[in-house]
Amino acid sequence: MMCAIHAAAGGGRVLIVDHAKAPGEKIRISGGGRCNFTNLHCRPDAFISGNPHFCKSALGRYDQHDFIALVDRHRIPWHEKTLGQLFCDGSAREIIAMLLEEMNAAGASLRLGVKVGEVEGGADGFRVTIDGCDHCCRSLVVATGGLSIPKMGATGFGYRVAERFGLKLRATRAGLVPLTFGPDLLPRMKALAGVAVDARVAAGGAEFDEAVLFTHRGLSGPAILQASSYWRERETVRVDMAPDRDVAALLRAARGENGRRSMGTALAGIVPKRLAADVVERSGFAGNLADMSDARLAEVGAAVNAWDLLPSGTEGYRTAEVTLGGIDTDDLDARNMVARRVPGLHFIGEAVDVTGWLGGYNFQWAWSSGWAAGTAIAEASR
């Protein structure tokens, strides 16, 4: 929709075809129905790609402030939640309505519930089969997303089109997704299901300070989702459940103040009570603080500040918010998202090997990459 708005500004005829029954379904369900539409701190280093510089052009020319200005022009009230995340005060449907209104004003058309078949290219443009009928166009934009949330209709269609025209793909995997664990750790996760704790989670050289949530399937919460995009199979994840607090030092101080306090009571003043009880049981250091040596307090502190655990995997595309990998940016022009060897063929959004952090970054990539392709098409149409 963002691409269509700007492509139609060149005066050419623009048509969006979508197999969904309603427009912007991923917008509708995002942010608990309020759409985390961008992030105040959006910047290139918050994106993962085989080429970390690729996203700079689009993000630099159409940034979060440009989209906020569009939202403001449509008088959609919004608020900042945490860490620069912007949400609608009302409903995500307001963002969809805004985009549809902009499309209508620009003269772009939308067809929903259609089936796209063959996509062919030639010297004069492209031929796309839509519901059994052929349509020809000078420019073709593929904005089909990735593999995440298949129940909403996500498929690998965009990847197949890319391969059909000789573009390379980078291996795809689920991103921003809960982590799962094997039988050695899963019983513990289940016992703690529902417990949330502010934590620092490190994986693959990145670390994030946000909440961690224990579930019946493993670990979730914003910090885990963020780290999951950097985690690789057979690698450990480190969880600090009391970031910026030296738990061993706090326990030593508590021992000096009142050595008759139990370890569980003292620890419950640092982390949630159920989690404290679990750490005590797991460490085997139940009893009074006075009975604990500095070495034992250090072990308990490490169990809280540096819990290293080995995930068995992730919940996969079923619950993943994004798909990592995708169409190789080496085959695309960062200025206009066009395939270098196929003039007129553009790929934008999640289908491309550019994946943002949790918190509105991926929507901003959609707006920015859509703008880059749309304005290029408009200029070519004038």
The H or E element spanning position 307 is strand 307-309
**Longest Cα separation, the chain:** 84
Which phi and psi (to 5°) does residue 90 adopt? -100, -105
Among 2.40.30.10, 3.40.50.300, 3.40.120.10, 3.40.50.2300, name the CATH number for the domain at 178-314. 2.40.30.10
d(CA 336, CA 70): 21
| Nearest one of 179, 187, 193 to 225, comparing CA atoms | 179
Provide the terminal-to-terminal Cα distance of the chain, rounded to the nearest Å.
20
d(CA 29, CA 368): 21
Cα angle 65, 43, 8 (rounded to 5 degrees) comes to 50
Task: Provide CB contacts within 8 A for 353, sequence distance 6+.
Answer: 49, 50, 51, 54, 170, 324, 325, 326, 327, 328, 329
Per-residue model confidence (pLDDT) at position 53: 98
Phi-psi region of 69 (alpha: psi -120 to 50; beta: other; left: phi over 0): alpha
d(CA 92, CA 296): 51
Copy the structure tokens of residue 137. Answer: 């166009």
Per-residue model confidence (pLDDT) at position 287: 87
Cα angle 277, 280, 284 (rounded to 5 degrees) comes to 140
Copy the structure tokens of residue 280. Answer: 């005590």
d(CA 15, CA 110): 6
Per-residue model confidence (pLDDT) at position 282: 86
| Nearest one of 351, 363, 356, 316 to 24, comparing CA atoms | 363
**Where are the domains positioned within the chain?**
2-175+320-381, 178-314
Per-residue model confidence (pLDDT) at position 285: 81
C-alpha separations of 13 from 101, 113, 125, 272 in Å: 17, 20, 14, 59
pTM: 0.95
Per-residue model confidence (pLDDT) at position 75: 98
Task: Report the relative pairing of strands 140-142 and 313-314 from DSSP bridges.
Answer: unpaired
Q: Is 285 in a helix, a strand, or coil?
A: coil
pLDDT 10s per residue in the chain (382 long)?
999 999 999 999 999 999 999 999 999 999 999 999 999 999 999 999 999 999 999 999 999 999 999 999 999 999 999 999 999 999 999 999 999 999 999 999 999 999 999 999 977 899 999 999 999 999 999 999 999 999 999 999 999 999 999 999 999 999 999 999 999 999 999 999 999 999 999 999 999 999 999 999 999 999 999 999 999 999 999 999 999 999 999 999 999 999 999 999 999 999 999 999 999 998 888 889 999 999 999 999 999 999 999 999 999 999 999 999 999 999 999 999 999 999 999 999 999 999 999 999 999 999 999 999 999 999 998 8
Does domain 2-175+320-381 match CATH 3.50.50.60? yes
Cβ density class 223-242: b for 16+ within 10 Å, e for less: bbbbbbbbbeeeeebbbbbb
d(CA 263, CA 285): 7
d(CA 325, CA 323): 7
- Tell whether the torsion through CA atoms of 106, 108, 113 and 118 is positive or negative: negative
Q: Within 10 Å of residue 163's Cβ, how many Cβ atoms?
A: 13
| Nearest one of 93, 103, 120 to 13, comparing CA atoms | 103
